Structure 1
Amino acid sequence: MPKLKTNKSAAKRFSKTGTGKFKRRQQNMRHILTKKSAQRKRRLGQSAIVDQTNERALRALMPYA
């Protein structure tokens, strides 16, 4: 059986944590930042964990991550 290819777009957006979960960046941090509060922008700058319902699909995209 041939080796599976890693989806490169997914590899650039997600990384695996030590416990096997996937880490992602938050949305809404690219533009129109003037109307967002400093507290909200600070919170959006932090990383988040991918929801459990999406982990199976992500594992298929990144088999060796």
Structure 2
Amino acid sequence: MSDKRLYKSSVNYMICGVCGGIAEYLAVDPTLIRLAWVIFTCLSAGTGIIAYIIAAIIIPS
């Protein structure tokens, strides 16, 4: 069993480090996660913004 945990990134951050933390967790480029998040936000009529705020609150630093 892996001891991988999801944290906000303290290195790859733009606003709160949520996308950087997800990228580090998945071992992918943070730019891909940010691009996917922007596309999700545009297609979901702003739900991505609410999801980002919730993630920024609940994901530990």
Under a length normalisation based on structure 1, what TM-score does the superposition of the two structures give?
Answer: 0.30
Larger radius of gyration: 1
Q: Which has the higher contact order (CA 8 A, sep 6+)?
A: 1
| TM score, norm. by length of structure 2 | 0.31
